[in-house]
Amino acid sequence: MPFGPDVPNLGKTVSQDELVTVRLRVACFSGKWAVPMLELMSFPDIRSIFQLGHLTKEEVMQAGPSSRECVLLLRGDDRLIGYAAVADSDYFPKWLDLRYAMHPDFRRQDFCSEGLSKLVQHLMETRGIPGITAIIPDHNAASRATAQSIGMKQIWFPPVHAHGNGLFVIERQG
């Protein structure tokens, strides 16, 4: 998913294949990230987010990056610390569905919010995406907080006393 023409950021020119925040690079998936991606996907909670729990390591590499446009959240030292994927939304035409996960060592440090905010801004402003959805389990407080921190609003709630998924959305302004 090339990000478009070179994007000026903090006085630097960023290549077409990445966006830069203060602490992160948001880069497209490529083969050189296969081994770190396997490490990240080895955590059971992350495998469940991307519905990869039953797959072998080889199948994870084929199913993850090839079935969705995916980006990697990289720290300044090129450490892979998170992953985000977008695909066509099942709920709204021309919208995208977003899924994301962070390496356990880097959770609750606002890295995910920082990277996703930049990605969402890019998708809406540069690619003209009218809106983005995220389906988040009601028991996943951290992901719900991340969605809210990047401006997403919950528009569907699971029934009272039932475990389920909430639907979060953000729409392009203007």
- Higher-pLDDT residue of 124 and 66 is 124
pLDDT tens sequence across 23-49: 888 877 665 656 666 666 666 666 666
Q: Find which of 15-19, 57-61, 83-87 is predicted with most confidence, using mean pLDDT.
A: 83-87
What gap in Å lies between CA 102 and CA 100, rounded to an integer?
A: 7
Neighbour count for residue 137 (Cβ, 10 Å): 15
Q: Is the pLDDT of residue 84 over 60?
A: yes
pTM (two decimals)? 0.75
pLDDT tens sequence across 88-100: 888 888 899 998 8
Hey, what amino acid is at 119?
L
| Residue 29 DSSP symbol | -
Instruction: Say if residues 120 and 86 touch (Cβ distance below 8 Å).
Output: no
What gap in Å lies between CA 84 and CA 132, rounded to an integer?
A: 13
At 166, the pLDDT band (50, 70, 90 cuts) reads confident
What gap in Å lies between CA 34 and CA 22, rounded to an integer?
A: 25
Domains plus CATH for the chain?
7-171 (3.40.630.30)
